[in-house]
Structure 1
């Protein structure tokens, strides 16, 4: 039988992260019209700026806001998703998301990339896991900051979980 640890990265347990460490995540993702319109409608966000191109073109007059913008919840989720391979595989529980800031509008066709800084590592009340606080950043293809936010997780310790 294949061990669970052989299916995940060997270097993303609690012990592998150091305060101050910055991770540039490997993948990027281009935001498509389908991503925005489908997910915006699925979560029942009725703000027309996400799906009414005609309204945006004639009413805004503000550069960057004269075409549909991607719902911020999608931008936030995508950045966390891009970071997940490196910061989420050994997570037992999400403890919190905080200080979320959407800094620059995202439009269809923009490509997002993610970076993570390790802000803090603390002991937990569990011997098999510790607490890590990350700061995630999302940038677009023009290196403009589109998202930043903090995420706190309960992360497995290698000694307790590494060979299950």
Structure 2
């Protein structure tokens, strides 16, 4: 046996090393579509500790400034012993941990829904353990090089097993062996080309304030005028090195889309792109700055419509869908359901989803 120290070949000679790379196998990361089967349960390692620093880093960079997540006095007014982990950071960390096992091979993110936070507020220092169950697998008639996988992902307190966050997401995942196809299914994608375009309401109404009663009053005015409650938010967030690379890496998101410019040079985007949960959280931060949020309940029907790249600016648009004060709401808040749309400086939608939140009342 020898360690190669007497090898006469200079492996660092550029031409020699280039030939070595051509002959060497690549130790692959991530899984192809064929690796997933309905009912499989995957435990994701290593998990991470949800720290106050990580929480504040995420919130500051996405302009989420709810004082209950920053100051102890404001947290205690909300019924927390200390500033808790924000649901946006919790969701991003839960998904980030799964990337190496589920979607590092790439593919299109088709959507996420049923995002819920069923437990008590999550305290800094909680160790997050994440698992995913394969809900379904399917072929893609239009993209034979991909399959479609849906997972149910759950983030738990590693010490107690308490459920902290759960959601269902669907991705296209590359196949190791693409399907053979005659391309006949592709024409179906154009069936809607001649459909009539929907007509927007004549009147857009903006709430007069940020409290639950303001959303209720705006919806009542819209109902009387056959209008809609919809408005845009002034703030924007331009994507930089921190949001594009640092934030996803801090959640253990290993997707090359966010940090490997070399690999992405031949991708459809042509360069690295922003982690979807950064886009989402930035848009929600803009929206929350115009409301008195008490608690996040959940998110549904989330989709990412196009790439967000370094230098792009994320803005937000909100439509208020309904507002209710019921027995499940705290006495000082009511439940509001929103549709949020993030868009870029070219006014192209990049994210959309519905959100349910408890909004403070004026009393």
| TM-score > 0.5 by shorter chain | yes
Q: What does the per-residue CA deviation read over 1:17-53, in whole Å, with 9 as the maximum and x for residues that have no partner?
A: 1233112111111111221111010011101111111
Matching of residues 1-80 of structure 1 within 5 Å: 11-17=209-215, 18-19=218-219, 20-58=228-266, 60=267, 62=268, 65-80=269-284
TM-score by length of 1: 0.83
Shift in Å, 1:82: 1.2
Across the aligned residues of Structure 1 and Structure 2, the Cα RMSD in angstroms comes to: 1.6
Shift in Å, 1:129: 2.1
Shift in Å, 1:12: 0.6
Name the SS of the counterpart of 2:299 in structure 1: strand
TM-score by length of 2: 0.38
The counterpart of 1:115, out of the listed 313, 317, 322, is 317
Is structure 2 residue 326 aligned with structure 1 residue 124? yes
Shift in Å, 1:73: 0.9
Q: What does the per-residue CA deviation read over 1:42-70, in whole Å, with 9 as the maximum and x for residues that have no partner?
A: 01110111111111114x2x3xx211111
The counterpart of 1:144, out of the listed 329, 348, 352, is 348
Q: Distance in 1 between matches of 2:296 and 2:264?
A: 36
Name the SS of the counterpart of 2:302 in structure 1: strand
Provide structure 1 residue ranges, at least 5 long, that are not aligned to the other structure: 5-9
In the other structure, the counterpart of 2:118 is none
Shift in Å, 1:112: 1.0
> Greater shift after overlay, 14-23 or 114-123?
14-23
Name the SS of the counterpart of 1:121 in structure 2: strand
Name the SS of the counterpart of 1:135 in structure 2: strand
Shift in Å, 1:149: 0.9
Q: Distance in 2 between matches of 1:11 and 1:145?
A: 26
Is structure 2 residue 355 aligned with structure 1 residue 157? no
- C-alpha spacing 1:49/1:127, structure 2 compared with 1 (3 Å): closer
Q: Distance in 2 between matches of 1:52 and 1:46?
A: 10
